[in-house]
Every structure is written in C-alpha cells, then in structure tokens.
Amino acid sequence: MLPRIFTAMITPFNTAGEIDYEEAATMAAWLVAHGSGGIILSGTTGESPALTDRERMDLLRAVRDGVGCSVPLWMGTGTNNTRHSRELSWQAAEGGADGVLLVCPYYNKPPQEGLIRHFVEISSGLPVPAMLYNIPGRTGVNLLPATARTIIQECPNVVAIKEAAGSLPQMQELINLVSPATYVYAGDDAMYFTALTLGAHGVVSVASHLVGPAIEGMTQAVNQGNLQEGRRINATLMPLFQELFRHTNPISVKWAMNYLGFHAGDVRLPLATPGDPRAFEELRALVDQLVPQATWPRAS
C-alpha cells in the first residue's frame, strides 16, 4: 500500500542559489520523522521547472542516501515533452526512485486523446509505478476522470492520481470511475478532509512540511469513522492551508521552513519572495501557534 501522506518537498538552495544536497537529505529525514509517509522530489513545490535534469538526479541520490531504502521516494518527471518525460522517468527509475509523478503537459494544452497517448507512451514498460498529476490551474488542461480511467486500463503501472482540479464533483467522479486498486490523492491540503470522506486514499501535501503529525491524526480520525475529530483538526489547520497559498507555492512554505531553522534558501527565478517585511506576518503567527517549538530543527 502506498503512504497516506506524501510530502511534495521543497528544494533547498544555498546562498549561491545552488541545491544544498546535504540539507535536502536532512530535511527529508525530518519530514519522515514528523508525519510524512513518503517524499516526492522535484514536483511543483520542489520548483521542478527551475531544476536541470542533472540536478534532479543528484537530488534523488542525495535524499536516498539520507533516508535509506525504507522510505517511499518518488520523483516528478513529467514535462510538456513526451520524449523528455519518458527519458527522465527511466533515469529516475534507474537512479533509485520508487515511483514517478507525471504532471499533465503544460502550455501546449493537448486534447484528452493527446493526454492518453502522452501518459501511455511515458509509462509503458516503466519498471516503477507512476502517479498522474492533474492541476489545470498550472497546466491549462484538465485530465478528465474518464481519460484517467482509460490511461489506467492501458498502463497497469499507473497506480495513483494526484487530483488538484479544485472540484469536489470531479474528485467524486474520479473515485467512482477508477479501480479500487487505484490510489486517489488530494492535491490540495484545503480539500483533503472532504476528499477523505469521499473515498480518497491520501494527500500529496505542502502543509505536511509544518504540521505532518496533525494531518496524520486527521487522516486516522476519518479512516476510523471519527468525523467529528477529523473536522476539528481540519478546522484548526485550515487557516494555515490557506495562508501557505497566499503567495505562489512554494514561496510561503519555503519561508516557513527557513523560519523553523532549516537552510531552505530562497526560491529561484522566475519566482520571487516578496520584499515587504509584513508579507509573512500571518504565516509566522500560524507557525508559532500550530508547530510545537520542541520539534523545530536547530531551535535556539
């Protein structure tokens, strides 16, 4: 069974703007110790569009060395170029990834038939499982539930879907259409509680950087039928879920990880951290309130 909670991990950079591989390994191990059942590298939150192919593979190796083989470690390898995505996916598999995350092609806006052929071409024969990633707000194309079902039927190693279309009816339709053996993940922390009640398996989370144990507790509560407790935890965390996306992800969560004491560094261009010193006042207050200081790394 795949983990309930995957953290889409940020990519830490040093002061020169290069990947801090040692810090990435340290961060991944800390996340696993604080509620993350698995890690996804070089996804949206990991600033994948700003990483080179070599950086992705070096990051994978460094984090694998840091967390060992017992932690599910997946890697974002989807692009808007089918051939390039397939090459990256094979490199990830050969480099030790346990699975790959394949985002819908962005900018070129393929039709549904194009999506089917794109994902089938990438996944066919791949020696590791794949997770489809639907996020039309970033890609400009919506992977429809019927299309996802066709892809899964044609490619047995497509075992999961990260659904971030922002539509609960589409989430429910997807869960209804795909095989019970397919893991459906919420791709938005703010929709996770409701997605769980609809039958989703888990979440690919940003907020788990900060409140992994609480998200884990909410997951357990819902799965045990304690909706009241799950609802309470969700209500407590909702302000954080929303504040983390006040600025384009991962700007806010990267700031928060620096605030905790990690050496997360800045985001890479074309992203930019706001220069207004008040930009993260609300986030700071929420982190102080919701993240026990005893768990902060390098806490003074």
pLDDT tens figures, 251-295: 999 999 999 999 999 999 999 999 998 999 999 999 999 999 888
Structure confidence at residue 294 (pLDDT) = 85
Q: Please tell me the number of Cα atoms within 13 Å of 256 on its side-chain side.
A: 31
Structure confidence at residue 300 (pLDDT) = 40
Question: Catalytic site residues?
Answer: 133, 162
Which residues, 6 or more positions from 245, have their beta carbon under 8 angstroms from its beta carbon?
190, 206, 252
Amino acid present at 256: A
Structure confidence at residue 295 (pLDDT) = 86
Amino acid present at 214: A
Structure confidence at residue 118 (pLDDT) = 98
Structure confidence at residue 298 (pLDDT) = 63
* Residue 21 CA from chain centroid, whole number: 19
Residues lower than pLDDT 70 in the chain = 298-300
Which residues, 6 or more positions from 8, have their beta carbon under 8 angstroms from its beta carbon?
40, 43, 44, 45, 46, 204, 205, 206
Which CATH number among 3.40.50.1580, 3.30.70.1280, 3.20.20.70, 3.40.50.20 corresponds to the domain 5-295? 3.20.20.70
Give the gyration radius of the chain's Cα atoms: 18
At residue 71, φ and ψ (nearest 5 deg) are: -100, 125
Q: Can you give the residue ranges of every domain in the chain?
A: 5-295
